[in-house]
Amino acid sequence: MAVETKTIAAAPGDTEMLISGSEACAEALALADIDVVTAYPIRPYDTVMQAIAKKIANGKLVAEYIVAEGEHSQFEIVKHASTVGARVFCGSSGVGWMYAMECLTVTPPLRVPMVAMVGNRALDDPGAFGVEHNDALVVRDLGWMLIWVDTAQEMLDTALLAYRIAEDRRVFLPIAISADGAFLTHSQALVQVPTKAKVDRFLPKYDRGDLQLHPDNPITVAPQANEDWVIEIRRQNNEAMTRAYTVIEEAYADFRKVFGRGPDNPWFEEYMTADAEVILMGMGTISLPLKVGIRNMRAQGKKVGLIRPRWFRPFPTEKMVAALSRASAIGVIDRDYSFGSPFGSGVVANEVRAALYNADKRPPLLSFIGGLGGREVTLEDVYKTADMCFAAATAGKSDLKTHWLGVRE
């Protein structure tokens, strides 16, 4: 089921490579000349660490490569390396990401611009290798910027963008790039790898400035603050996240100038939405069955389109509302769950509902949960979803149930 995707013309000097999403990330990391990286095994993200290890072993990257004894240490080590001025990379999947939770918590308030890759994976128990987005989503309130990508090319480009955005002094917050386990981490595609010269033009060196921990700059970082100051510090975090909106727009504009590719709209991909009556939404590689299904439905005259959110934090509220308000009904497919949440919906559906609350035009919104644990989202699922949305569009209202796709009842 081939999807019509625009082929990216190779720019002069670029190399075309057949590589997986994880390998594409490693290409970006070598181009970004990272300084310290920490590894710990868990599938499926660990393929990126294997790819980096090969690069270092073969002299394609000079960096401290530390095999940690657990994810807690894995994230703490790079956090500290970043505070002395090193560009760092880390990552994990599923319960590994949860094991690092304390360290994930402290990284944003320390204003550490770490870039991490999450190879999204179902949480235990029971054990499952396949994708679910609950791992990365767990940090959504803590000051991490979160982005989902759906191709190896987008992974490479986003990794370069991520350093540029995170290390911008106006932001100084960590970024987690989510890649669906197996579907993206392990699937190969043709990727245009840019030259180092172009990357150097796009990506300045990390400069920690007066926050650098060094004997020449004897500062105290994170002293005990208590109620005297904590709310101001939280507010500063919030302002950094707010400033990220501008920084992200700027970075993508520059990216397009330097590399001659990249989306005009950094925040989400729109596919056949111009005249769409029904807009389906889903993050990550679920875009593949959705796009195929949409094309098939279009052939039958059904006006369906797709919005695939990239940035989940910061959330592009106004832009998203403007894009969704055009539709007569919206169907959100969450590859995650939030037990006991309003309407028992997934995280994305409820975020979109919240964003739409004050909108002048609020199309009916249907909430779906599907593809958990890496379960295939089939074309039948897509058609069923769209049909329910069309029915809601006609009725002018949606039910408030959350529909689980393809579940054995």
Partner 1 sequence: MAEVFTNATQVLQGFKGVKKVSVEEYFTSGHRTCQGCESALVMRLMIKAAGPRTIVLGATGCMYVANTTYYTTPWVVPWMHTQLGSSGSAALGTAAGLKALMKKGRMKAEPINVIAFCGDGGGADMGLGAISATLTHKEYNCLILLYDNESYANTDIQASGSTPYGANTTFSPPGSVKRIMHNRWKKNTAGMLAAGHPECRYVATVDASYAVDMMNKVRKALSIGGPTFIHSFDPCPKGWDFDPMLSHELGELAVETGIFPLYEVEDGVVRHYGKTRAIAEGRPRKPVREYLLKQGRFAHFTEEDLDYFQAKVDEMWEKWEIPGVIPFWKEKRPAVPMP
For partner 1, the binding residues (CB under 8 A) are 33, 35-36, 38, 62-64, 66, 68-70, 72-73, 76-86, 88, 102-103, 106, 205, 213-215, 217-226, 228-229
CB of 390 to partner 1, least distance (A): 51
11 or 66, CB closer to partner 1? Answer: 66
Cα–Cα distance between 199 and 193 in angstroms, integer?
10
DSSP-derived secondary structure for 339-398: TTSGGG--HHHHHHHHHHTT-SS---EEEEE--GGG----HHHHHHHHHHHHHHHHHT--
- CA 322 from chain center: how many Å? 21
229 or 404, CB closer to partner 1? Answer: 229
CB of 22 to partner 1, least distance (A): 23
* Residue 73 neighbours by CB under 8 Å, 6+ apart: 38, 40
Is the distance from CB of 393 to CB of 329 less than 8 angstroms?
Answer: yes
Whole-number Cα distances in Å, 314 to 129, 240, 381, 404: 28, 10, 30, 27
9 or 221, CB closer to partner 1? Answer: 221
Is the distance from CB of 28 to CB of 175 less than 8 angstroms?
Answer: no
Count of CB atoms situated within 10 Å of the CB of 125:
7
The two structure tokens encoding residue 261: 């590719």
CB of 170 to partner 1, least distance (A): 22
104 or 176, CB closer to partner 1? Answer: 104
144 or 245, CB closer to partner 1? Answer: 144
Q: What is the CA radius of gyration of the chain?
A: 21
72 or 295, CB closer to partner 1? Answer: 72
53 or 68, CB closer to partner 1? Answer: 68
216 or 275, CB closer to partner 1? Answer: 216
CB of 95 to partner 1, least distance (A): 17
CB of 38 to partner 1, least distance (A): 8
Count of CB atoms situated within 10 Å of the CB of 85:
16
CB of 66 to partner 1, least distance (A): 6
Element (H or E) spanning 46, and its range?
helix 46-57
Cα–Cα distance between 5 and 308 in angstroms, integer?
14
Count of CB atoms situated within 10 Å of the CB of 6:
6
The CA-based angle 380-355-302, given to 5 degrees, is: 30
57 or 219, CB closer to partner 1? Answer: 219
74 or 285, CB closer to partner 1? Answer: 74
CB of 23 to partner 1, least distance (A): 23
CB of 27 to partner 1, least distance (A): 20
Report the largest interatomic distance among the alpha carbons of the chain, rounded to a whole angstrom: 69
Residue type, 203: L
CB of 212 to partner 1, least distance (A): 9
CB of 138 to partner 1, least distance (A): 17
CB of 107 to partner 1, least distance (A): 11
114 or 393, CB closer to partner 1? Answer: 114
Give me the residue label for tokens 């039948």. 380
Element (H or E) spanning 72, and its range?
helix 71-83
The residues with which 308 forms a beta bridge, in sequence order, are: 269
Give me the residue label for tokens 């959350």. 402
Burial-class residue 264 by CB neighbours within 10 Å (0-12, 13-18, 19+).
Answer: exposed
